[in-house]
Amino acid sequence: MKRAKVFAVLPTMLTLGNAACGFGAITFAAKVGPENADGSELLIAAILVFLAMLFDMLDGSAARWTNQTSDFGAQLDSLCDAISFGVAPAFLMLQYNYLTSNVSLPFQYHPRLLWVIAVLFVVCALLRLARFNVETEEDDSHNTFSGLPSPAAAGVIASFPIALRGLRELASDNQATAQDLAIWLIPAIKIALPVITLAAASLMVSRIRYTHVFNQL
């Protein structure tokens, strides 16, 4: 019995690790400012989002492995996902645009428009998670999903701060070709990110079927 109780705690701790990473991502992203303009905080925040994805991937497997699946675990998982894959990536998108505010563009997004896109992403992530809870049966194999899973959408956005760090290193390279490529890509990515965020939000609430890659292994 004692061993069973210890195993029962494991999926819950993994799920809470997901939420801790999401909150950590928000905390580090909030540090972006004039005194922290090198992008290291945003890079750490992006890595924490991917770490949250790892916890989210493991908690369900741990629950099934220990035969501890429950409605409590499902609801807790969605609450944690709302933080890590809803609020955190939306905030990363806003802070990414703040971090690259000195990048010259042919046009600038209005701050209110960026805020609306971020809110739409959060709302679509919440709708996606709620729909998943309502439509998923207890014996569902989870081999496919209806709509883009929120971790995948969050991963798309979190990849941009990581790419930015690489591009900035490329811009400082001694090779002229590498510098020209980085100088062209950094503004292009800044323009594309809000559009991609909006597209990811729309895909989350769509009815497009996606394969669960992890469960196919």
Q: Which of 2-6, 60-64, 108-112, 114-118 has the lowest mean pLDDT?
A: 2-6
Q: Which helix (H) or strand (E) holds 46?
A: helix 40-65
Q: For residue 174, what pLDDT is reported?
A: 64
Give 120-148 pLDDT, tens digit per residue.
999 999 999 999 888 876 555 566 778 89
Q: Which of 68-72, 95-99, 162-166, 170-174 has the lowest mean pLDDT?
A: 170-174
CA–CA separation, 84 and 81 (whole Å): 5
φ, ψ of residue 140 to 5 degrees: the values are: -65, 135
The two three-digit tokens of residue 89, written as one number: 């990536």
Give 49-61 pLDDT, tens digit per residue.
999 999 999 988 7
Query: What does DSSP say about strands 144-146 and 209-211: parallel, antiparallel, or unpaired?
Result: antiparallel
CA torsion through residues 157, 107, 95, 112, sign: negative
The two three-digit tokens of residue 142, written as one number: 């989870």
Of 158, 18, 28, 14, nearest to 83 by C-alpha is 18
- Average confidence (pLDDT) over 43-52: 96
Considering only residues 56 and 36, tell me which one the structure prediction assigns the higher pLDDT: 56
Q: For residue 61, what pLDDT is reported?
A: 79
Q: Which of 48-52, 74-78, 87-91, 180-184 has the lowest mean pLDDT?
A: 180-184
- Whether residue 206 contacts residue 150, with contact meaning beta carbons closer than 8 Å, is answered with no
Q: How confident is the model at residue 156 (pLDDT cuts 50, 70, 90)?
A: very high
Q: For residue 84, what pLDDT is reported?
A: 97
- Average confidence (pLDDT) over 175-189: 75
Of 160, 166, 169, nearest to 188 by C-alpha is 160
What's the whole-number average pLDDT of the chain?
Answer: 84
Q: For residue 173, what pLDDT is reported?
A: 65
CA torsion through residues 56, 62, 64, 68, sign: negative
Q: How many CB atoms lie within 10 A of CB 209?
A: 9
Question: Could you report how far apart the first and last alpha carbons of the chain are, in Å?
Answer: 32
**DSSP per-residue codes, 155-173:** HHHHHHHHHHHHHHHHHTS
CA–CA separation, 51 and 58 (whole Å): 11
- Whether residue 20 contacts residue 81, with contact meaning beta carbons closer than 8 Å, is answered with no
Q: For residue 53, what pLDDT is reported?
A: 96
